[in-house]
Amino acid sequence: MTSRAGLSDVPLIGLSTASVYPESTAHAFGYAATLGYDAVEVMVGIDALSQQMTAIKQLAEHHGVGVCAVHAPCLLITQRVWGTDPWGKLERSAEMAQEVGADVVVVHPPFRWQKEYAREFVQGIEGLEQSTGVAFAVENMYPWRASSKRSVEAYLPGRDPSQERYANATIDLSHAAVAQEDPIAMADRLGERLRHIHLTDGTGSAKDEHLVPGRGNQPVAELLQHLACGDFAGHVVVEINTRKASTPAQRSADLAESLDFAREHLGLTRVDRG
């Protein structure tokens, strides 16, 4: 595979700390190390540990697993994490990324009611990338659907990053399922701007399911194979919902299955990155 500036020459497979909820950020690093993930994506959230740069750095060093990305606190439930100023949240996310050695900040587009933030968002993201040297990979989102016939467009300037001039983007396969979007077509529209994948699955329902890849009906395997053929060398981060796991062993099995799925369809064996 051909490498691009700032990227490895093969995709790096990471584990989102959101995948182990309701277990903690610390547990996520333990699972990643035990199962052989390449890295961790830190979801900055209501877990106080996820907000502490020094603690994250110590966890990475203790477990020998690096941090590839920081997910900014832009969910509805994290609206007050790191304050209420959305630009302040992104600046602090970049600061954490720099501190822990991550090269990507994942960010959602603004909610429609954040009109001033949304108006400046595209230009602001470009400015942050220039000033910090960190890639802000804007994530695809979805309409809020109460049923198959009623939906609300909740994001501005839009939910599809391929329609804007972002330099870096994230495709989340569960979000694509809810939006009933073709993730392979979206990847093609993005081209080399596609920096980050949230590996998961869905059934196309109105619920953001975040299933183990292969347990829904999305073209997840096909997307990974498509990316491998196209020399994608960004991050593939497992972001699944394991809340129904009754034991840590069951959660670990779901995380291991997801990692094996990624390796198989990217055509990778375990890579020793030192």
CATH code: domain of residue 239: 3.20.20.150
Q: What is the mean pLDDT of residues 126-140?
A: 98
- pLDDT, residue 150, reads 77
Is pLDDT above 50 for 238?
yes
Q: What is the pLDDT of residue 261?
A: 98
Any domain includes 194: yes
Q: What is the pLDDT of residue 77?
A: 84
What is residue 5's DSSP assignment?
A: T
Residue 237 burial (C-beta neighbours within 10 Å; 0-12, 13-18, 19+) = buried
Residues with Cβ < 8 Å from 171, sequence gap 6 or more? 139, 140, 183, 186, 187, 190, 194, 196, 197, 198, 223
**Residue keyed to tokens 């994608």:** 232
Give how far Cα 73 sits from Cα of 12, 29, 107, 215, Å. Answer: 23, 19, 8, 28
The beta-strand segments (E) located in the chain are 12-16, 39-43, 66-71, 104-107, 135-139, 144-145, 151-152, 169-172, 194-199, 235-238
Average pLDDT over residues 159-183: 97
Residue written as token pair 């993201």: 125
With cut-offs at 50, 70 and 90, classify the pLDDT of residue 270: low
Total structural domains within the chain: 1
Q: Do 104 and 70 contact (CB within 8 A), yes or no? A: yes
**How many other CB atoms are there within 10 angstroms of residue 29's CB atom?**
26
- In a domain, residue 66? The reply is yes
Task: Say how far apart CA 136 and CA 196 lie, in whole Å.
Answer: 10
201 part of a folded domain: yes
With respect to residue 272, please indicate whether it lies within any of the assigned structural domains.
no
The parent domain of residue 75 ranges over: 12-179+190-266
Task: Note whether residue 246 is domain-resident.
Answer: yes
Cis peptide before 22 (omega within 30 of 0): yes
Q: Give domain status of residue 4, yes or no.
A: no
User: In the prediction, which pLDDT does 151 show?
Assistant: 83
Q: What is the pLDDT of residue 231?
A: 83
Give 45's DSSP letter: S
Q: How confident is the model at residue 148 (pLDDT cuts 50, 70, 90)?
A: low
Note whether residue 51 is domain-resident: yes
Across the range 253-262, mean pLDDT stands at 98
Largest interatomic CA distance in the chain? 51
Encode pLDDT of 32-83 as tens digits.
999 999 999 999 999 999 999 999 999 999 999 999 999 999 988 888 899 8
Condensed to tens digits (0 to 9), the pLDDT of residues 97-129 reads 999 999 999 999 999 999 999 999 999 999 999
Spatial CB neighbours of 208, under 8 Å, sequence gap ≥ 6 = 142, 174, 175, 178, 202
* pTM beyond cutoff 0.85: yes
Q: Is the pLDDT of residue 8 over 60?
A: no
Residue 225's Cβ-count burial label (10 Å; 0-12, 13-18, 19+) is: middle
Q: What SS3 class is residue 193?
A: helix
